[in-house]
Amino acid sequence: MRRPAAAAILLAAIMGATPADAAVGALLNGTPPAEIPPPAPPADEAAGAPAPADAAPTQAPAPEAAPAGEAAAASPVTPAVPPANGAAATSPPGGPSAADRAYGAFQQGFYLTALTRALAAAQEGSAAACALLGYLYANGLGIQQDYATAATWYQLASDRGDVGAMIELATLYANGAGVEQDRARSAALLQAALDAGATRAGYGLGLLYLAGDGVAQDLPRAAENFRAAAEAGDADASYALAAMYRDGVGVAQDDVEAARWMGRAADQGNIAAQVEYAIMVFNGTGVTADEAIAAAWFSQAARAGNPVAWNRLARLYATGRGVVQDFTQAARLNELAKDAGLNDSWLDQVLAEAESAGLLAGEADTAPADTALPAAGTAPEGGFVPPDATPEPGPG
């Protein structure tokens, strides 16, 4: 389920995260779940189906450290390195069951066929078919988007024990989409799904306990729910749990645990976590310091178009920290960050001096230079190898 903007902003306020970072974990915005991207419909059915931190100046700017707090007694661990890109998508809520043929049509993008087959299966009592109908109506696939009808189908599926439908219905109640907004009802549905073994419900439930929204605020319980979802592979939950360990919110402050969960979230593709983990690795906060691996993580986030990553990577290029010094590459990244609204007067001054000294190539679109990022096979024990050894800062 998606993350509610209000809860995400509150999460940022409590944990000290930036609004931009919190936005990466925004929940319940009424769009299809990120982990369930619907396939593009074939041409014959396309018509009528709606489209679905700071590095320090001069000799070595260091990325901005995490909020102050005593370091954990445990020894730092070896940093992970960015993974290869790509992640497998999953099926819609409910998953294939008695409605296999309806799901088969859905997975091929034949939404009208899926709708017809799911209606027939739902009349025979299939909870999975009801969940699929809720998903089709909620996302306007093969039929006009209708949250109220989606809520009806999700309720029927929930009553028949479909945990995926419980989570999707909780999304609608949290947003007030098709139903009257009711965060307490949302929390109850998420708890029921969690009790039934759907650990991914833990993230949304954790946000509600963290914010005291629909339930009494309970920070330790929020951490427990984040942990349940994180251990099941939820990247946003790993990021949230890392932030709680970093700041000592709901758990004892522990830099090593913070780095472990932040690295896990980064490895799972959470862009905000990739930036924060890079800062932790650069500074050696809860993890062995390694500037080259930090640069690789900044590069990974930069590929995804993160302005903070562009800025931090530009600083590293300007100072030759973790990469081969390259003022032209630094200028290119700095322009990308500035175009996104992130200005850096210190970096502007460094690049102006470099240009005066004739150290800039003078072409904004100069091809990236080779760098000293870790190549395949050079990752530390227990780490991951980045997708390649040359950063790709983004478009342009």
How far is the C-alpha of 139 from the C-alpha of 125, rounded, in Å? 23
- The residue segments making up the domain with residue 321 are 55-67+74-84+270-396
Q: Note the pLDDT tens digit of each residue in 165-219.
A: 999 999 999 999 999 999 999 999 999 999 999 999 999 999 999 999 999 999 9
Is 118 part of a structural domain of the chain? Answer: no
Q: How confident is the model at residue 99 (pLDDT cuts 50, 70, 90)?
A: confident
In the predicted structure, residue 302 carries a pLDDT above the cut 60: yes
φ/ψ of 87, rounded to 5, equals -150, 145
Is 247 part of a structural domain of the chain? Answer: no
Question: What is the average pLDDT score of the chain?
Answer: 75
Comparing 381 with 204, the larger pLDDT belongs to 204
Kindly list the distances between the CA atom of residue 198 and the CA atoms of 26, 120, 184, 190, 225, in Å, as whole numbers in the listed order: 20, 27, 19, 9, 11
Q: How confident is the model at residue 297 (pLDDT cuts 50, 70, 90)?
A: very high
How far is the C-alpha of 117 from the C-alpha of 275, rounded, in Å? 45
Q: What's the whole-number mean pLDDT along residues 60-74?
A: 37
Q: How far, in whole angstroms, is CA 278 from its chain's centroid?
A: 15
Is 317 part of a structural domain of the chain? Answer: yes
CATH number of the domain that 80 lies in? 1.25.40
Is 20 part of a structural domain of the chain? Answer: no
Number of domains comprising the chain: 1
Is 62 part of a structural domain of the chain? Answer: yes
Is 15 part of a structural domain of the chain? Answer: no
Q: How confident is the model at residue 311 (pLDDT cuts 50, 70, 90)?
A: very high
Q: What's the whole-number mean pLDDT along residues 294-299?
A: 95
Q: Note the pLDDT tens digit of each residue in 244-259.
A: 999 999 999 999 999 9
